[in-house]
């Protein structure tokens, strides 16, 4: 008996050792060939035919494991595509003739905040990254931004919409995404434009911090425009039965229902609103509608509007970088799948950095910071401009959400159309939906 226990115990120890050995390695990237801090000695351009080449290191973490795996991988793919394209095009030539190429240094943050802080510290100190890109999600980015500011590194954040990160007094953190406070305000503009008679809206939202901050901004925006918010109620993100809440909404007879949260609750809510024959003329929900699988709801998806950071069809005229079509094609060629807005976010983070370096004409952080502060451009992803006030420094103010609506094409199939803003629209809005 004792012997078998001992054998069992040693087997367990052996097994756990093997698991540790097979666990994820800390560094999945190849080490950069040549790491040089931007502040190192100025190259002297004496011999024009042989331009000095520098490698700028871009540091970031990706969620290779954990709950953000899918979105984060797409974001990383987008960023890498940008980097490959810039390097293949010969890099960026600075005013002194130096050619800058890029290399990346990244780690797996396991979708974990504590890992993020540890790893960004490592990127800023040991790896001497010249620039930082944020991880995916607002939570991880908030954790990374502190480190960027602490070690005086410029960070472009992407995949992170929360407003609060830019209210901490940081001066080196710049946001590529439209902030959460603007996620649904455009839907209200759309409603106001389409139906000036509409007066009442009902807001039902998942009571997590992201969705709550979105609807708080929506509510004050709506009330400021003279709308009555008849229902304003949060629900648990895990809710599957919305009957009671929908009854309440139905009784208040709103012109539009807005809110939602994430994919599961949003799609369930839309389904049950449809099944209960709620008569609202417009439904605008967060996050869920832009997802292609939202169409699985069938008729319940018809007419539902949702904000998206970017859609492949959005017809913006870029003044910098590739067109939307070029981006989609090269992304498909590189990764064999359609890019999502996460991919576009990763790519555009690189594009912002590129534009700033080109404008500055050097790798000097102060000059690049100045270029970022003054940036006002349109890319395939939409406008990019940063708030430079002390209270909201780095907050994205140039980029608008695009609003998609599920409509039926001539064959009766559900298709996503862009209905707002008008400059990017691919179809007129379907209103009222029922």
Residues 257/266, Cβ–Cβ less than 8 Å: no
Residue 421: asked if its preceding bond is cis (omega within 30°), the reply is yes
* Residue 295 binding another protein, by CB under 8 A: no
CA distance 108 to 61: 6
Left, alpha or beta for 224 (phi > 0: left; psi -120 to 50: alpha)?
alpha
CA distance 173 to 148: 8
- Which tokens is 390 given? 């002390």
Applying CB under 8 A, among 84, 195, 233, 364 the residue interacting with another protein is 233
Please state the closest distance from residue 207 (CB atom) to another protein, in A. Answer: 7
* Residue 243 binding another protein, by CB under 8 A: yes
Element (H, E) at 219: helix 209-224
* Residue 251 binding another protein, by CB under 8 A: yes
Please state the closest distance from residue 249 (CB atom) to another protein, in A. Answer: 10
* Residue 267 binding another protein, by CB under 8 A: yes
* Residue 250 binding another protein, by CB under 8 A: yes
Nearer to another protein, 40 or 240 (CB): 240
* Residue 434 binding another protein, by CB under 8 A: no
Residues touching another protein: how many (CB under 8 A)? 26
The interface region with another protein, picked from 24-32, 166-174, 187-195, 269-277 by CB under 8 A, is: 269-277
Residues listed for the chain: 434
Applying CB under 8 A, among 263, 320, 335, 431 the residue interacting with another protein is 263
Beta bridge partners of 383: 378
Between the two ends of the chain, the Cα-to-Cα distance in Å is: 73
Nearer to another protein, 45 or 251 (CB): 251
Q: What is the DSSP string of 290-333?
A: TSGGGGGGGGGGTTEEEEES--TT-----SSS--HHHHHHHHHH
Please state the closest distance from residue 15 (CB atom) to another protein, in A. Answer: 16
Applying CB under 8 A, among 24, 90, 97, 298 the residue interacting with another protein is 298
Residues 73/81, Cβ–Cβ less than 8 Å: no
CA distance 434 to 420: 20
Please state the closest distance from residue 8 (CB atom) to another protein, in A. Answer: 17
Nearer to another protein, 133 or 204 (CB): 204
The interface region with another protein, picked from 36-44, 214-222, 245-253, 335-343 by CB under 8 A, is: 245-253
Alpha helix (H) ranges present in 307-425? 324-335, 341-360, 365-373
Residues 314/418, Cβ–Cβ less than 8 Å: yes
Cα 8 → chain centroid: 48
Q: Which residue has the tokens 């996503």?
A: 416
CA distance 372 to 352: 8
Please state the closest distance from residue 340 (CB atom) to another protein, in A. Answer: 16
Applying CB under 8 A, among 125, 164, 167, 240 the residue interacting with another protein is 240
* Residue 236 binding another protein, by CB under 8 A: yes
Instruction: Give 2's contacts (C-beta < 8 A, 6+ positions apart).
Output: none
* Residue 223 binding another protein, by CB under 8 A: no
- Which tokens is 417 given? 């159309």
Nearer to another protein, 76 or 267 (CB): 267
Residues 127/57, Cβ–Cβ less than 8 Å: yes
Applying CB under 8 A, among 238, 333, 390, 410 the residue interacting with another protein is 238
Please state the closest distance from residue 242 (CB atom) to another protein, in A. Answer: 9
Please state the closest distance from residue 44 (CB atom) to another protein, in A. Answer: 57
Nearer to another protein, 128 or 239 (CB): 239
Nearer to another protein, 295 or 377 (CB): 295
* Residue 275 binding another protein, by CB under 8 A: yes
Applying CB under 8 A, among 43, 51, 87, 276 the residue interacting with another protein is 276
| Strand ranges of the sheet holding 282-285, from the earlier edge strand across to the other edge | 228-235, 200-206, 256-260, 282-285, 304-308, 402-408, 414-420
Nearer to another protein, 90 or 298 (CB): 298
The interface region with another protein, picked from 103-111, 264-272, 348-356, 359-367 by CB under 8 A, is: 264-272
* Residue 207 binding another protein, by CB under 8 A: yes
- Which tokens is 15 given? 């097994």
Residue of 7, 12, 104, 24 lying closest to 59 (CA atoms): 104
Nearer to another protein, 299 or 325 (CB): 299
The interface region with another protein, picked from 118-126, 237-245, 345-353, 360-368 by CB under 8 A, is: 237-245
Point out which residues bind another protein (CB under 8 A). Answer: 207, 233-236, 238-241, 243-245, 247-248, 250-251, 263-264, 267-268, 271, 275-277, 296, 298
């Amino acid at each position: 008996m004792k012997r078998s226990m001992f054998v069992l115990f040693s087997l367990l120890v052996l097994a756990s050792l093997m698991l540790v050995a097979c666990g994820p390695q800390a560094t999945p990237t190849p080490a950069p060939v040549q790491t040089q801090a931007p502040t190192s000695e100025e190259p002297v351009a004496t011999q024009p035919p042989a331009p000095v080449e520098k490698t700028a290191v871009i540091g970031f973490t990706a969620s290779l494991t954990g709950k953000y795996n899918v979105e984060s991988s797409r974001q990383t793919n987008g960023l890498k595509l940008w980097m490959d394209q810039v390097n293949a095009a010969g890099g960026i030539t600075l005013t002194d003739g130096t050619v800058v190429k890029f290399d990346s240094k990244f780690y797996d943050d396991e979708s974990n905040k504590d890992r993020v802080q540890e790893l960004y510290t490592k990127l800023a100190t040991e790896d001497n990254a010249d620039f930082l890109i944020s991880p995916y999600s607002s939570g991880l980015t908030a954790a990374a931004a502190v480190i960027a500011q602490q070690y005086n590194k410029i960070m472009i954040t992407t995949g992170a919409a929360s407003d609060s990160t830019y209210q901490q007094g940081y001066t080196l953190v710049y946001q590529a995404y439209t902030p959460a406070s603007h996620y649904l305000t455009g839907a209200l503009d759309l409603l106001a434009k389409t139906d000036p008679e509409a007066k009442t809206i009902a807001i039902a939202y998942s009571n997590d911090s992201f969705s709550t901050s979105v609807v708080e901004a929506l509510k004050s925006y709506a009330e400021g425009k003279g709308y009555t918010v008849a229902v304003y109620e949060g629900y648990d993100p895990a809710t599957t039965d919305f009957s009671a809440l929908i009854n309440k909404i139905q009784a208040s007879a709103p012109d539009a229902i807005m809110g939602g949260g994430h994919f599961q609750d949003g799609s369930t809510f839309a389904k049950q609103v449809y099944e209960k024959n709620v008569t609202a003329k417009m439904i605008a929900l967060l996050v869920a509608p832009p997802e292609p699988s939202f169409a699985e709801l069938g008729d319940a998806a018809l007419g539902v509007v949702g904000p998206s950071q970017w859609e492949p069809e959005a017809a913006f005229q870029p003044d910098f970088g590739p067109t939307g079509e070029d981006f989609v094609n090269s992304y498909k060629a590189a990764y064999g799948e359609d890019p999502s807005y996460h991919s576009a976010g990763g790519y555009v983070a690189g594009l912002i950095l590129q534009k700033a370096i080109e404008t500055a004409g050097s790798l000097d952080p102060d000059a690049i910071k100045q270029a970022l502060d003054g940036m006002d451009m349109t890319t395939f992803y939409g406008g990019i401009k940063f708030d430079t006030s002390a209270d909201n420094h780095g907050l994205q103010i140039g980029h608008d959400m695009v609003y998609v609506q599920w409509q039926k094409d001539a064959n009766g199939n559900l298709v996503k159309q862009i209905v707002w803003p008008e400059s990017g629209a691919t179809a007129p809005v379907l209103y009222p939906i029922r």
